[in-house]
Amino acid sequence: MEFHNLSFETAIDEMDEDELRATLTEFAEKHEANQAAFNDLVEALDGVGNDGKEAEFEALQEEVSAFKAQFAEALAERVPLTVEELAEFSLSRLYEMDEQTEEAPADLPADDDPVDDPADDDTPSFMKESKPSKAGDFSADDYDSAVEKARGSLQGIPGLSFD
């Protein structure tokens, strides 16, 4: 397919009326020829690919989607994300997550094995004692006043609203 180009030897603002008309006529003819060539190409391409390949492609896409859903369900058992959250990721990212869970050190505790088990006898007694809270104990009035103070401090940030 060959498109026709139009080039000017004289700048448009330097052309007289007859040259402008001739240029416009030439442009219109080349434009029509380009449109005809394009339409011929579109017609030629309309027949390509309609021999069942689209249905086969859609079936493959559905198969990949089903596999991805099954893979996300299996992966959800090993990572701290839900199946719905995992479904948002691409299949390649799910593979990366799977590889990362396989590479995780074995000495890390599993989710069902709590780290701070009070029955663990290997823990020194000074670590078992409760520590005082660094935040302190707030009454309801103290909490409300702290919230109001924080809102007052943050009120000056443009675009931040507490409604």
Tens digit of each residue's pLDDT (9 = 90 or more) over 101-159: 887 665 555 555 555 555 555 666 655 566 666 666 667 777 788 888 888 888 778 77
Can you give the pTM of this predicted structure?
0.36
- Compute how many other C-beta atoms are within 10 angstroms of the C-beta atom of residue 61: 10
- Quick one: which of 123, 131, 61, 130 has its CA closest to 91? 61
| Alpha carbon distance 92, 81 (integer Å) | 16
Please provide the distance, in angstroms rounded to a whole number, between the alpha carbons at the two ends of the chain: 62
* Domains of the chain by residue range: 12-46
> Would you state the torsion angle of the CA atoms of residues 12, 13, 17, 19, taken in this order, to the nearest 10 degrees?
-30
